[in-house]
């Protein structure tokens, strides 16, 4: 079964450090100086005076117009994804997003030379749990609770998921080698 060899990777805030660029844009527009460490809740509209739609629209804007500026979460993710494949794993990128950002995501993955076997763009509310993998790396508290044993979830450390203490956690993608 390929599922037992497939590692699923979330894109936003696991591979692409998009909140860094999102906050740059936000600070420019609203003349603020918020940093990523200030974002201690998953629901941005609980800590920023912005509607869910505005948050979503700014996210789409950043991917469309500033995708070249979005940094990877670490400089070695190309090497890490290459080594995972060479170790016999399949890499499936699973990302929930606005359809308008799809081509820019593909460009970003090429720019950073990310190795992967397939990519799933989810445009609706389908759970990531519906897709085949044995292990998912994600920063989302919502996805964390949806992945049930024997499948595994690894939390990618971000300021907004610190309360998820009952899961394995990595700060950089290369720490995944300690868990598989
Ligand atoms: Mg994410």
- Please tell me the distance from the alpha carbon of residue 112 to that of residue 178, in angstroms, as a whole number: 23
Write down the pLDDT at residue 124: 96
What are the tens digits of pLDDT across the range 48-78? 999 999 999 999 999 999 999 999 999 999 9
What pLDDT is stored for residue 2 in this prediction? 56
Structural domains present in the chain:
2-17+71-178 (3.40.50.1000), 18-69 (no CATH)
DSSP state of 131: S
Query: What pTM was computed for the model?
Result: 0.96
pLDDT tens figures, 84-122: 999 999 999 999 999 999 999 999 999 999 999 999 999
83 C-alpha vs ligand 1 centroid, how far in Å?
22
Q: How far is the CA of 137 from the centre of ligand 1 (A)?
A: 9
Cα 86 to middle of ligand 1, angstroms: 25
Overall average pLDDT of the 141-169 stretch: 94
Beta-carbon neighbours within 5 Å of ion ligand 1: 10, 12-13, 139
């Amino acid at each position: 079964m390929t599922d037992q060899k497939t590692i699923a990777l979330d894109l936003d805030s696991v591979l692409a450090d998009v909140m860094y660029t999102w906050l740059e844009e936000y600070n420019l527009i609203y003349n603020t100086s918020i940093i990523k460490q200030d974002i201690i809740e998953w629901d941005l509209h609980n800590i920023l005076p912005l509607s869910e739609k505005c948050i979503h629209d700014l996210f789409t804007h950043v991917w469309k117009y500033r995708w070249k500026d979005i940094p990877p979460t670490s400089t070695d993710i190309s090497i890490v994804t290459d080594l995972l494949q060479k170790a016999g794993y399949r890499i499936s990128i699973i990302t929930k997003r606005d359809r308008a950002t799809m081509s820019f995501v593909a460009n970003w993955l090429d720019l950073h030379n990310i190795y992967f076997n397939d990519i799933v763009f989810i445009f609706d509310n389908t759970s990531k749990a519906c897709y085949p993998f044995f292990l998912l790396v994600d920063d989302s508290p919502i996805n964390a609770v949806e992945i049930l044993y024997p499948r595994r979830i690894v939390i990618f450390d971000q300021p907004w998921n610190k309360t998820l203490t009952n899961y394995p956690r990595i700060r950089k993608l290369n720490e995944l080698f300690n868990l598989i």
